[in-house]
Chain A
Amino acid sequence: MTARDALAAETAPVNSARIPAEGMVEKRGIGLWFTHAGLILGVIVIFFPIWLAFVASTVSQPEIVRPPMPLLPGDQFLENYTKALFSGVNAPVAWMLFNSLVMALGISLGKIVISLLSAFAIVYFRFPGRKLFFWLIFLTLMLPVEVRIVPTYEVIASFGMLNSYSGLIFPLIASATATFLFRQFFMTVPDELAEAARVDGARPMRFFWDILLPMSRTNMAALFVILFIYGWNQYLWPLLITTDPSMNTIVMGLKQMFPSGDDIADWPVIMATSILAMIPPVIVVISMQKLFIRGLVDSEK
């Protein structure tokens, strides 16, 4: 994402790469119908699991345990969702949703803030050890938390951060993807803007706040979408450090709702919880689709 792109982004549609033309390569007639049919089939396959979960969340337990379960929604919507939200199995799902929200927001906002600051320092200053910091931070680029779970767990435990929001958030902030992205973006901001700001009398932090931050809005938003989903969907880490059900996040709490042994799971409540677990990230992705696609493409570059 360059500075110029960021400016254009507000007006330009994402898919402007090619102007549709009535070319000979386009399919018409029967071919067009086959194309649509193929795509619709794909959409059905992709959507079926979600649909089934939704149906299961609206019927009663007996309807599910006597297979085959219905394929159209039932009338137990309110009952199931109320039960899930306010009593759940181990802990009320409403509470787990709140925990997930805190974690996802903490990770996305925290990472954006510290990355903006450090990218600003690395790009706009010369100071001893700059190269060293640069490389130390960038070593972390691709190492997922899964690889270092045991020692990280020990660190969190020794800080007394088990069953806490900070324990959920900090280890997942410790990577440089966002720093790298902001650095790339800052490098494309014309030098003259910083010079003009200096001539105008802006000190470094003033330039950062007045010029650089507003120009980075699009990048921040795109990154927010990606990080929010990343944080919301974390599973292994919350599983390790939240032993107290009241600290469970919804994604990991879902698995905890399954009974151990041979008891029958409370499927309607579990499925209602699955749907609830999907709604926030899905809303973020769909409502910020353009930003999301940009964020995705940029963060993988």
Chain B
Amino acid sequence: MATLTLNQIRKTFGKTEVIHGVDIDVRDGEFIVIVGPSGCGKSTLLRMVAGLETVTSGEILIDDRRVNEEEPMDRDIAMVFQNYALYPHMTVFDNMAYGLKIAKTPKSEIEDRVATAAKMLQLEPYLARKPRELSGGQRQRVAMGRAIVRKPSLFLFDEPLSNLDAKLRVQMRLEIKDLQKQLGITSLYVTHDQVEAMTLADRMIVMNGGVADQIGAPLEVYENPATEFVAGFIGSPATNFLPARLFSPRDARIKTIGIRPEHATLTTAGSGRLPAKIVFTEALGAETLLHLRLDTGESFTIRQDGTAPVPTEGTACGIDWPDSRELDFDEAGKRL
């Protein structure tokens, strides 16, 4: 059990700064997900917490103890790697026990802990196997098991599900969430998948270009994106962005407005805020996506309920939305 604090963390590779001062406070037992596109610095940040990368400036505190200079093993952490990083020549048991053996844990305790973890992860029948004899999901579980047996105060996950197929990913996502709840261990989880982030996180951190754009509970981030980037990155289909010059903006600072597809409604031609034409429709059953083109050329997507009638492609129409749902951004992409 531990808290984790990052104070103005910066990282430079050579002359380029890739992390520009990140502050995070993670509470005890909290599940934090760092999400962002590739190259945003999320993995680097995680690896700095793990001690696999040096910190250029700033402070990392685990339970208020500064760990910047500590070796990974002294930080009381465990990590699950993207490609699992299982030792190929060791059995499942030995893979899980390796860290404990190095720490000179008594043999009987090693066996107890591995047995407990194996039971939790349904790995008991496979303890004598080598990693290459396991399926992707089983390997993933071994990687988790290796982290669990060490009883760390902090779990670090580096895109642990990205090598699994879609179905398994959903299943493992639930298992990870469940496990973390059971164990109550503070966790930092990195992913590029916003669905994973939304479903797993107590709080999520959206990173963009080496900066934490927003930190907050998933729904809060969804409802109230702090930047244009967050509004675009979180949610699928993506938020519609329109240049403010198409309207008479309420505020001169507004440069772009965003409207989520489910917040816009289709109106008859000539009514609504903007004239458009239906380009094509996707009826997905529970919902229908309407892809429109504005008369000024911009694309726009509306999500409507699956029970609503599906309009004909090619018909002229209008778009409307309530003022309260309008997301206004300034020139720098900041929310107003």
B73 at the interface (CB under 8 A from A): yes
Residues facing B in A176-196 (CB within 8 A) are 190, 192-193, 195-196
Residues facing A in B42-97 (CB within 8 A) are 50-52, 71-73, 77-79, 81-90
Residues facing B in A195-210 (CB within 8 A) are 195-202, 206, 210
Do A215 and B52 touch across chains, with their CB atoms under 8 A apart? no
* Count of chain A to chain B residue pairs whose CB atoms are closer than 8 Å in the complex: 63
Residue ID in chain A nearest B150 by CB atoms: A200
B235 at the interface (CB under 8 A from A): no
Do A195 and B88 touch across chains, with their CB atoms under 8 A apart? no
Do B83 and A190 touch across chains, with their CB atoms under 8 A apart? yes
Q: Contacting B88 at CB < 8 Å: which of A198, A202, A215?
A: A215
B229 at the interface (CB under 8 A from A): no
Q: Residues of B contacting A206 with CB < 8 Å?
A: 102
Query: A220 → chain B, closest Cβ, in Å?
Result: 13
Residues facing A in B240-261 (CB within 8 A) are none
Q: Say what secondary structure dominates the interface of chain B.
A: loop
Q: Residues of B contacting A211 with CB < 8 Å?
A: 87, 89
Do A192 and B81 touch across chains, with their CB atoms under 8 A apart? yes
Compute how far the CA of A195 lies from the CA of B43 in the bound complex, rounded to whole angstroms: 13
Q: Say what secondary structure dominates the interface of chain A.
A: helix
Q: Residues of B contacting A198 with CB < 8 Å?
A: 51-52, 71-73
Do A200 and B83 touch across chains, with their CB atoms under 8 A apart? no
B21 at the interface (CB under 8 A from A): no
Question: Given that A200-B102, A215-B89 are contacting pairs, would A195 and B132 also be in contact in the complex, using a CB cutoff of 8 Å?
Answer: no
Do A214 and B89 touch across chains, with their CB atoms under 8 A apart? yes
Q: Residues of A contacting B85 with CB < 8 Å?
A: 190, 192-193, 195-196
Question: Given that A190-B83, A192-B83, A206-B102 are contacting pairs, would A199 and B73 also be in contact in the complex, using a CB cutoff of 8 Å?
Answer: yes
Do B77 and A201 touch across chains, with their CB atoms under 8 A apart? no
B99 at the interface (CB under 8 A from A): yes
On A, residues with C-beta under 8 Å from B are: 3, 7, 190, 192-193, 195-202, 206, 210-211, 214-215, 217
25 chain-A/chain-B pairs, Cβ below 8 angstroms:
A7-B132, A190-B83, A192-B83, A193-B87, A195-B50, A195-B52, A195-B81, A196-B81, A196-B86, A196-B87, A197-B87, A198-B73, A199-B50, A199-B52, A199-B77, A199-B79, A199-B99, A200-B98, A200-B102, A201-B73, A201-B99, A202-B98, A202-B102, A206-B102, A215-B89
